[in-house]
Structure 1
Amino acid sequence: QGEKKEEKVKVIYGGLIPIVGTILSTLIALIFAVPIALGISIFLTEIAPPFIEKPVGIAIELLAAIPSIIYGMWGLFYFGPLVSKIFGGSSVSLLVAGLVLGIMIIPFIASLTRDAMKTTPGVLKESAYAVGATKFEVIKDVVFPYAKRGIIGSIILALGRALGETMAVAFVIGGVFSLPKSLTDPTISIPVVLANNFAESSGMSLSALFYLALILFILSFAVITYGKFKFLNNRKGD
């Protein structure tokens, strides 16, 4: 009987499920967003002519300012059903939440990465072209190494934002308190648990929510601090 009671307490107050949901949805978002954002940044800084670069750059910055609840509603009514048709499963799931998060942070990463790539001195690129380097080699061997600190920093800062995202994820993750057996299963994340339950909780339930909030704070603070001071500072050298 004691074991059953302990198991029941773990089910009701345990934090494993929202922690797993938060981490997995964030990882999906990064896997989806980083290659696309880097491609956009490379295109705008190294390939696109000025008459394309400027309006597209402005559009990306505007996309970064769209409220997260708009992304959530779009994901619930349009994107989620589309993903469900392609991959099967529910239209609200861990996969949909991760992809919506990824779409949200693409403009953020692309904008910061573009700014980092623009700091590459023109003389370095001109010297590389002068010795016969191709555009791909210049990007790989000159632009990326020079802007590495800013690129990684932008990704880590986007990770911090994705970890704490609430409204968009609340619409599309499903809100089901169970470990997902596949990416197309609904689950829940820490911010969603806090938003859904904090106002009506008391006693041990409220204490559990405070512990979850503390875990989320530590994760987000550690990630953002690492990105800020390890990669976005102006220190010289690696």
Structure 2
Amino acid sequence: MTTLAGPAPPPEPPAPSREPRPRPLTERLGRADRVFHRVAAGAGAALFLLLVLIGFFLLLRSAPALRTAGFGFFTTIEWRTDVDPPVFGVLGMLSGTVIVALIACLVAIPVSLLAALFITEYASARLRDTLTGVVDLLAAIPSLLYGLWGMAYLNDRIVPLSRWLADNLGWIPIFSTRAEAELTGSMFIAGLIVSLMVMPITTSIMREVFAQTPPGEKEAALALGGTRWGMIRNVVLPFGRGGLVGGSMLGLGRALGETIAVKLMLPQVPILSGHVLENGGATISGFIAHNAGANEKITGALLAFGLVLFAFTIAVNLVASWIIARSRSGSGVDA
């Protein structure tokens, strides 16, 4: 007797795997994220547009003065508006601006570097917070107060130092002085005043960069028997090199644009001189503040000076941003 077999049962589905599977990640911005992205992008575009408009305004208003002066605008030192056509040039003021800014940076950068290293590597947590607040507070002091303090107090008290430099280092051209030269109101003293305003900025930037040094690398250097200074020299400083250079150049940009303190300290007479200890000199920003409010011709020349300072400062800050973005300490910060 034969029996007919029915259709074979379907194969059982495989048992689901018990191994955990990673959940796929998808970039889905919420409403708040989209709003914030648009607001941030709009703010950035507005700042860039404002910068372009400032440059366009300076170029437009200074164009008649630049056409009158011609290429001599960049090679002339004299300032005379009592003749027709007027004679004016930016060379003397530009050299004074650069000299004062370099003096300020030469004084401020070493002090800022040591202060930043002490705050991040040597100070206790409580002292670190106190010093950080003090540095931020120094940045909030108006430049007018620095200028008044320098003019009323520091000006005469720096003269002995200037005289010592002239007597002992006079063989260096920048420290040489004439026999009866007046040593107050010099670019050297103005640079010292500006350095006090540069220090908070450079110290804050260097401190922030040094604080981002990977703790593992610092601990590894100490575990290998290195001293604290050896760890700083071989780990912290190489890591923060970009912040050191970038902070220094941002401080230079700050010094180039200082106005009120330099206006009070210098006589604002354009000269082309390397004798930084003698009375005299002018900076672009101080000269503009000193002569503001004059007639249309003078205002056009002052706006031409402002255009030069604007372009010079923008170039310095762009170079600083480029250095920070391509250093190890700035990697990943600026995409």
Q: Same fold (TM over 0.5)?
A: yes
| Structure 1 counterpart of 2:275 | 182
Aligned mates of 1:227, 1:107 — CA distance in 2: 17
| Structure 2 counterpart of 1:202 | 296
Q: Determine whether 1:30 maps to 2:105.
A: yes
| Structure 1 counterpart of 2:146 | 71
Task: Say whether the 8 Å CA contact 1:150–1:232 is kept in structure 2.
Answer: no
Q: Greater Rg, structure 1 or structure 2?
A: 2
TM-score, with structure 2 as normaliser: 0.64
- Describe the SS at the equivalent of 2:78: helix
TM-score, with structure 1 as normaliser: 0.89
Aligned mates of 2:325, 2:156 — CA distance in 1: 38
Task: Say whether the 8 Å CA contact 2:186–2:276 is kept in structure 1.
Answer: yes
| Structure 1 counterpart of 2:316 | 223
Task: Say whether the 8 Å CA contact 2:77–2:91 is kept in structure 1.
Answer: no
Aligned mates of 2:188, 2:77 — CA distance in 1: 26
Aligned mates of 2:260, 2:89 — CA distance in 1: 22
| Structure 2 counterpart of 1:93 | 186
Q: Deviations over 1:13-32 (max 9, x none)?
A: 12111011000000001111
Shift of 1:232: 4.6
Aligned mates of 1:37, 1:126 — CA distance in 2: 25
Aligned mates of 2:153, 2:273 — CA distance in 1: 22
Task: Say whether the 8 Å CA contact 1:76–1:91 is kept in structure 2.
Answer: no
Shift of 1:235: 2.9
| Structure 1 counterpart of 2:137 | 62
Task: Say whether the 8 Å CA contact 2:253–2:316 is kept in structure 1.
Answer: yes
For structure 1, the 5+ residue unaligned runs are: 1-5
Q: Which has the higher contact order (CA 8 A, sep 6+)?
A: 1
| Structure 2 counterpart of 1:109 | 202
For structure 2, the 5+ residue unaligned runs are: 1-71, 80-87, 164-181
- Describe the SS at the equivalent of 1:199: coil
Aligned mates of 1:26, 1:10 — CA distance in 2: 19
- Describe the SS at the equivalent of 2:263: helix
Shift of 1:176: 2.4
Shift of 1:135: 1.1
Aligned mates of 1:132, 1:197 — CA distance in 2: 62
Shift of 1:65: 1.1
Identity %: 31
| Structure 2 counterpart of 1:137 | 230
- Describe the SS at the equivalent of 2:292: helix
Q: Determine whether 1:170 maps to 2:245.
A: no
| Structure 1 counterpart of 2:117 | 42
| Structure 2 counterpart of 1:11 | 78
